[in-house]
Amino acid sequence: MSVAILRQGDYLIASIQSDLSDSEVIELRHELAELVGSYRARGIVIDVSALDVIDSFVARSLRAIVLTARLRGADTVIVGIQPDVAIAMVQFHLNLEPLRVALDLDAAIALLDRLTRRDAWDGG
Amino acid sequence: MEDEVRVSIDSDADLVAARSEGRAMAERLGFPRPDPTLIATAISEIARNIVVHVGRGEIVLRPYQEADRYGLVVIAKDDGPGIRDIEAALRDEYSGRGGLGLGLAGARRLMDDFDVVSDPDTGTTVTMKKWRYRDELARLREERRRRA
Amino acid sequence: MNEHRPATPTRPRHASDPEAKEEWMDQEPNRPAPDEERDQRTDDQPAERSDDASSLLQELVAYLRDHRTDLREEWARRISEAEFLGVMSDEEIFSEATEVYDNYVDALETGSIETLRTYARELSERIIPRGVETHEVLGIVLLLRDVLARSLFAKYQNDLELLNRILDAYEPAANRIAVTVGVSFVEERERVIHDQQEAMRELSTPVLQLRDRLLILPIIGMLDSSRARQLTEQLLAAIRDNRATVVVIDITGVATIDRTVANHLVQTVEASRLMGASTILTGLSSEIAQTLVDLGVDLGMMKTVGDLQGGLEEAERLAGYRGADARDSTGDVET
């Protein structure tokens, strides 16, 4: 399988292992939407460090995942965008709004902790 | 001497091959980072257009070498119904909230030369090119040679 | 960032441009007895220029060869007098002077400067590492020109009209030679300087880790597209390798930037953000600040702080090193 999805407490960690075909990306979307619901996950981390191309389709799909997850009560953090990929995305004018990003898994978990704690604090 | 590579595009799985061939050729030619990624991304966009809008087509990757520069030409060809309004397609069609997503404008920003020819009879051909001087010194030398 | 490769620069052409394909001699030299010819010419209308120039140059070349020793010595004397080529010994000067002289005369004779140009390039390769400067090279070539011109004055002083025609033939040729030698030297110098810059660039590691997760990239000097691209790669790699969450880009040492570089800077900041790092830009001079505004560059979400010190403090706060609410500290980067 090209994507390994693990569960860590309230979070789902989706680790993309290699370049994905479009159908695999769509499959990932469905899978995450399902799992967020069935595990009542509060957060998702998507690790894209194995992707050496992020084009408009992947960007759209990531955004779709984030919005869907939000609707089901989970925050999403994208981690591991590679330097060249970051440059390509910026030059391409690929806009990842309203995504949250972090450098790596630890940073992502820390961020999710803050976000979910904040939500709890705000009573939301 | 490097030969051209053809990738036929029939399904989205072929996009993976097109990306990876493009990257491989760019690296073989000696493009410095981040160019191989820029090229692979542009190829991905153009090739996807074929799959999404036409269903079938071909990507040709053609290297070229000159004394003072090297480059890679990507030709994406399909026999589809053509792009009705190329002008509009080349504007920023990808607008985030699910625009047409043709990605042509973005691909153009990643490459150095970009050309689109399209009509209902012959389909669409996108030709894009990225090139570099071999090195600054080569550029200077070539200028001197030309002046001699 | 589609930087435009600079178009091949074209030099403005001028009369003695080596690039122009001038033919000094269109016809075979036609040489009747010198005196007879001179008498004829004095009576006629000025003969066809190329004819006249051609045979006069031949006469000139013969003269320069006959007086090779004297003229060369005179030239070497003038070089020492002017204190040129101080880095070279007298023997060296004399030996190179001989080469240049012979090549000079050959160039006058054949009308072709190829050999001269090749020699000039090789000479430059030899003397540049020794520290010979541009003004010295131009100086000695002009001295040679002067030595030869004066000796022509001396020889033809009794026939000003002939002297005039000799000079008409000599001048363009001498000019072209001077330019060829000068340009070859300068080009070689530019090549050497460029090579040195490249070497320096490759060795430098401009991104510094200030604290854990905090990087600083001080940029000094001229910033062009190519260097900007290199710096971006290095910065992004450093962000990844150091797990940095805050980056300070300091441009105190940069005098001016143009639109391309400004856009490059913005894109670097955006790319850093995609990798999870915030960027603070410090050290903007008022000139650069105005340039950025005039260019309409969207600094948007980029934080800028006037001076480096202030920027560092802000960076430390962002990175969680200074007393800050845990909730405000780093990691929370939105695109």
Compute the distance between CA of residue C328 and CA of residue C325 in angstroms, rounded to an integer. 5
Give me the sheet containing A43-47, strands edge to edge. A3-8, A11-16, A43-47, A75-79, A100-102, C333-334
Q: Which positions in chain A touch B41 (Cβ < 8 Å)? A: 53-55, 88, 92
Compute the distance between CA of residue C54 and CA of residue C169 in angstroms, rounded to an integer. 8
Q: Which tokens sit at C219? A: 């940029």
Q: Which among C321, C306, C332, C331 has a CA at the least distance from the CA of C210?
A: C321
- To test the contact with chain B by mutation, choose from A53, A57, A81 the residue with the greatest count of B C-beta atoms within 10 A, namely A53
Asked whether the beta carbons of residue B12 and residue A85 sit closer than 8 angstroms, the reply is no
Q: Which positions in chain A touch B45 (Cβ < 8 Å)? A: 55-56
**More confident site: A114 or C321:** A114
| Distance (Å) from the alpha carbon of C253 to chain A's nearest alpha carbon | 25
How large is the ipTM? 0.88
Asked whether the beta carbons of residue C335 and residue A103 sit closer than 8 angstroms, the reply is no
B55-69, B97-111, C4-18: the lowest-pLDDT one: C4-18
- To test the contact with chain A by mutation, choose from B37, B48, B92, B108 the residue with the greatest count of A C-beta atoms within 10 A, namely B37
Q: Which among B73, B46, B41 has a CA at the least distance from the CA of B58?
A: B46
Q: Which positions in chain C touch A99 (Cβ < 8 Å)? A: 334-335
Asked whether the beta carbons of residue B137 and residue C114 sit closer than 8 angstroms, the reply is no
Asked whether the beta carbons of residue C187 and residue B136 sit closer than 8 angstroms, the reply is no
Locate the chain B residue with the closest alpha carbon to C190.
Answer: B140
Helix (H) or strand (E) run with residue C70 in it: helix C68-81
- Looking at CATH, the fold of the domain delimited by B5-147 is given as Heat Shock Protein 90 (3.30.565)
Asked whether the beta carbons of residue A56 and residue B19 sit closer than 8 angstroms, the reply is no
| Distance (Å) from the alpha carbon of A53 to chain B's nearest alpha carbon | 6
Angle subtended by helix axes C90-110 and C68-81, to nearest 10: 130
DSSP per residue over B109-123, as a string? HHSSEEEEEEETTTE
Locate the chain B residue with the closest alpha carbon to A22.
Answer: B12
| Distance (Å) from the alpha carbon of C306 to chain A's nearest alpha carbon | 26
Residue A97 φ/ψ, nearest 5 degrees: -50, 145
- Looking at CATH, the fold of the domain delimited by C34-200 is given as Globin-like (1.10.490)
Asked whether the beta carbons of residue A52 and residue B106 sit closer than 8 angstroms, the reply is no
Nearest-by-Cβ selection for C194 from B109, B140, B148: B140
- To test the contact with chain B by mutation, choose from A19, A27, A28, A55 the residue with the greatest count of B C-beta atoms within 10 A, namely A55
Instruction: Report the percentage of chain B scoring pLDDT > 70.
Output: 82
- Say yes or no to pLDDT of A124 above 70: no
pLDDT tens for chain C, 335 residues long, are 444 444 444 444 333 444 333 333 333 334 344 444 444 444 333 333 466 777 888 888 899 899 999 999 899 889 989 988 888 888 888 888 888 888 888 888 887 888 888 888 888 888 888 888 888 989 988 998 899 889 989 988 899 998 898 888 888 888 888 888 888 888 888 888 877 777 776 666 688 888 888 999 988 877 777 778 888 999 999 999 999 999 999 988 888 887 888 888 888 999 999 999 999 999 888 888 888 888 777 666 678 877 888 888 888 888 887 654 433 334 444 44
Model pTM above 0.80: no
Domain ranges for chain C, please list them: 34-200, 208-328
Using CA atoms, how far residue C67 sits from A36, C62, C140, C167, in Å, is 98, 9, 19, 18
Residues 6 or more apart in contact with residue A17 via CB below 8 angstroms? A1, A2, A3, A4, A50
Asked whether the beta carbons of residue B38 and residue A21 sit closer than 8 angstroms, the reply is no
Q: For A36, which DSSP code?
A: H
Locate the chain B residue with the closest alpha carbon to C183.
Answer: B144
Compute the distance between CA of residue C261 and CA of residue C219 in angstroms, rounded to an integer. 12
Q: In which band, very low, low, confident or very high, does the pLDDT at A105 lie, cut at 50, 70 and 90?
A: very high
Q: What is the pLDDT of residue C34?
A: 42
Nearest-by-Cβ selection for A86 from C275, C326, C331: C275
- Contact predicate C276/A102, CB 8 Å: yes
Locate the chain A residue with the closest alpha carbon to B97.
Answer: A60
Nearest-by-Cβ selection for B106 from A19, A93, A97: A93
- Say yes or no to pLDDT of A67 above 60: yes
Domain ranges for chain B, please list them: 5-147
| Distance (Å) from the alpha carbon of B49 to chain A's nearest alpha carbon | 11
- pLDDT tens-digit map of B71-84: 999 999 999 888 87
Class of the CATH-defined domain C208-328: alpha beta
Locate the chain B residue with the closest alpha carbon to A67.
Answer: B97
- pLDDT tens-digit map of C1-43: 444 444 444 444 333 444 333 333 333 334 344 444 444 444 3
Nearest-by-Cβ selection for A23 from B12, B34, B106: B12
Nearest-by-Cβ selection for B148 from C5, C8, C117: C117
Q: What is the pLDDT of residue A93?
A: 83
Asked whether the beta carbons of residue A84 and residue B45 sit closer than 8 angstroms, the reply is no
Q: What is the pLDDT of residue A15?
A: 96
- pLDDT tens-digit map of B21-54: 999 999 998 888 899 999 999 999 999 988 888 8
Asked whether the beta carbons of residue A92 and residue B109 sit closer than 8 angstroms, the reply is yes
Asked whether the beta carbons of residue C18 and residue B147 sit closer than 8 angstroms, the reply is yes
**More confident site: B56 or C221:** B56
List chains touching C (3+ CB pairs under 8 A).
A, B
Compute the distance between CA of residue A67 and CA of residue C259 in angstroms, rounded to an integer. 36
Q: Which positions in chain A touch B109 (Cβ < 8 Å)? A: 91-93
Q: What is the CATH number of domain A3-121?
A: 3.30.750.24
